[in-house]
Amino acid sequence: MSPKEKNPLADPSRRAPETRIVHGGTERSQHGETSEAMFVNSGFVYPTSADAEARFLNKAPGHIYGRFSNPTVDMFQKRMALLEGAEAARGLATGMAAVTTAVMSQVRAGDHVVAARALFGSCRYLIEDYLPRWGVASTLVDGRDPANFAAAMQPNTKAVFLETPTNPTLELVDIAAVADIAHAHGAKLVVDNVFATPINQSPLQLGADLVVYSATKHIDGQGRVLGGAILGSQELIGGDIHTFIRQTGPSMSPFNAWTLLKGLETLPLRVRQQSESAARIAEVLSGHSKVARVFYPHHQDHPQVELGRRQMRTGSTLVAFEVAGGQAEAFKVADALAVILISNNLGDAKSIITHPTTTTHQRFSEEVRLDMGIRPSLLRLSVGLEATDDLIADLMYGLDQI
Ligand X SMILES: *Cc1c(COP(=O)(O)O)cnc(C)c1O
In the complex, the residues that contact ligand X under the rule CB under 6 A are 94-96, 99, 120, 122-123, 163, 167, 192, 194-195, 214, 216-217, 226, 228
Q: Per residue, what are the HEC states of the chain?
A: CCCCCCCHHHCHHHCCHHHHHHHCCCCCCCCCCCCCCCCCCCECCCCCHHHHHHHHCCCCCCCCECCCCCHHHHHHHHHHHHHHCCCEEEEECCHHHHHHHHHHCCCCCCCEEEEECCCCHHHHHHHHHHHHHCCCEEEEECCCCHHHHHHHCCCCEEEEEEECCCCCCCCCCCHHHHHHHHHHCCCEEEEECCCCHHHHCCCCCCCCCEEEEECCCCCCCCCCCCCEEEEECHHHHHHHHHHHHHHHCCECCHHHHHHHHHHHHHHHHHHHHHHHHHHHHHHHHHCCCCEEEEECCCCCCCCCHHHHHHHCCCCCCEEEEEECCCHHHHHHHHHHCCCCEECCCCCCCCCEEECHHHCCCCCCCHHHHHHCCCCCCEEEEECCCCCHHHHHHHHHHHHHCC
The rounded distance, in Å, linking the Cα atoms of 130 and 126 is: 5
Min dist CB 95 to ligand X, Å, is: 2
- To the nearest whole angstrom, how small is the minimum distance from the Cβ of residue 290 to ligand X? 27
Cβ proximity to ligand X: between 157 and 214 the closer is: 214
**Nearest distance, CB of residue 151 and ligand X, angstroms:** 25
Asked whether the beta carbons of 326 and 376 are under 8 A apart, the reply is yes
Cβ 225 to ligand X shortest distance, Å? 9
Least CB distance to ligand X at residue 26 (A):
25
Cβ 341 to ligand X shortest distance, Å: 17
- Quote the least distance from Cβ 98 to ligand X, whole Å: 7
Q: Which lies closer to ligand X via its Cβ, residue 116 or residue 282? A: 116
Nearer to ligand X, 70 or 94 (CB): 94
Whole-number minimum distance, CB 93 to ligand X, in Å? 8
Cβ proximity to ligand X: between 251 and 388 the closer is 251
Q: Which is nearer to ligand X, 94 or 377 (CB)?
A: 94
Q: Which residue is nearest to ligand X (CB)?
A: 95
Which residue lies nearer to ligand X by CB, 214 or 286?
A: 214
Query: Measured from the CB atom, is 260 or 385 closer to ligand X?
Result: 260
In the bound state with ligand X, the residue whose beta carbon lies nearer, of 25 and 228, is: 228
